[in-house]
């Protein structure tokens, strides 16, 4: 389904496959498979959530709420739902992503210059903020993590959306757990996985 032109205030998410450069090594079949699964997951989820527009380019996806007739609260809920569903589908294929979300101005225009070449301009501070946070955010996003960038003392706590945890600069969205009580256990398990990776490196170095 074609994406309609959009110009307004909305939530924008920038989603990126984790470890894609490593996947491209060798014959590149792992990378090709990951791209196929990303596009498939995106298509299936967006078909069921048509308030969300999505542009997928290589190992990245740009998602935005294109329905201007709903509240900011509803916009956030809808884009989080889509992010959760896409990530869960990809996880079934052992593919992880990082996702950054920002709210602000966003503009998308579907233009065709001439046969064989198309141009789809994307503008707006919401897209730029989400992209930069995903690429160079502090702290660095780890595989599987999703977070909302806070701007201008923005506070979405009053929305009372489950699975969100606030830090100084972000709200982290724990799409991989069922309720807020599971967040602490998930964080412990996630940190332990890094310790195991470190111990594996030590073991290899020691022979």
- Residue ranges of alpha helices (H) inside the chain are 20-23, 29-48, 72-91, 125-136, 183-206
pLDDT of residue 202: 77
pLDDT of residue 206: 83
Query: Tens-of-pLDDT digits for all 207 residues of the chain?
Result: 568 889 999 999 999 999 999 999 999 999 999 999 999 999 999 999 999 999 999 999 999 999 989 999 999 999 999 999 999 999 999 999 999 999 999 999 876 544 554 556 788 999 999 999 999 999 999 999 999 998 876 778 889 999 999 998 999 999 999 999 999 999 999 999 878 888 888 787 787
pLDDT of residue 156: 86
pLDDT of residue 194: 79
pTM: 0.91
pLDDT of residue 1: 52
Neighbouring-strand partners of residue 11: 103
Work out the end-to-end distance of the chain between its first and last CA atoms, rounded to an integer number of angstroms.
Answer: 54
Task: List b or e across 34-55, with b for residues whose CB sees 16 or more CB atoms inside 10 angstroms.
Answer: bbebbeebbeebbeebebbbbe
pLDDT of residue 83: 98
Give phi and psi for 144, each to the nearest 5: 95, -15
């Amino acid at each position: 389904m074609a994406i309609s032109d959009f110009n307004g205030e909305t939530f924008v998410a920038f989603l990126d496959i984790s470890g894609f450069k490593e996947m491209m090594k060798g014959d590149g079949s792992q990378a090709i498979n990951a791209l196929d699964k990303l596009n498939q997951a995106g298509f299936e989820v967006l078909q069921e959530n048509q308030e969300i527009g999505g542009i997928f380019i290589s190992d990245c996806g740009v998602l935005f709420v294109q329905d201007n007739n709903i509240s900011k609260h509803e916009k956030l809920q809808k884009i989080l739902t889509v992010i959760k569903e896409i990530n869960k589908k990809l996880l079934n294929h052992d593919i992880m992503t990082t996702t950054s979300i920002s709210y602000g101005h966003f503009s998308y225009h579907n233009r065709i210059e001439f046969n064989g070449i198309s141009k789809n301009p994307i503008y707006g501070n919401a897209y730029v903020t989400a992209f930069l946070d995903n690429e160079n955010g502090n702290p660095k996003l780890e595989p599987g993590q999703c977070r909302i960038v806070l701007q201008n003392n923005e506070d979405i706590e009053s929305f009372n959306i489950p699975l969100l945890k606030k830090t100084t600069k972000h709200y982290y969205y724990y799409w991989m757990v069922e309720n807020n009580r599971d967040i602490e256990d998930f964080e412990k398990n996630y940190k332990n996985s890094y310790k195991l990776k470190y111990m594996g490196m030590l073991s290899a170095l020691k022979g």
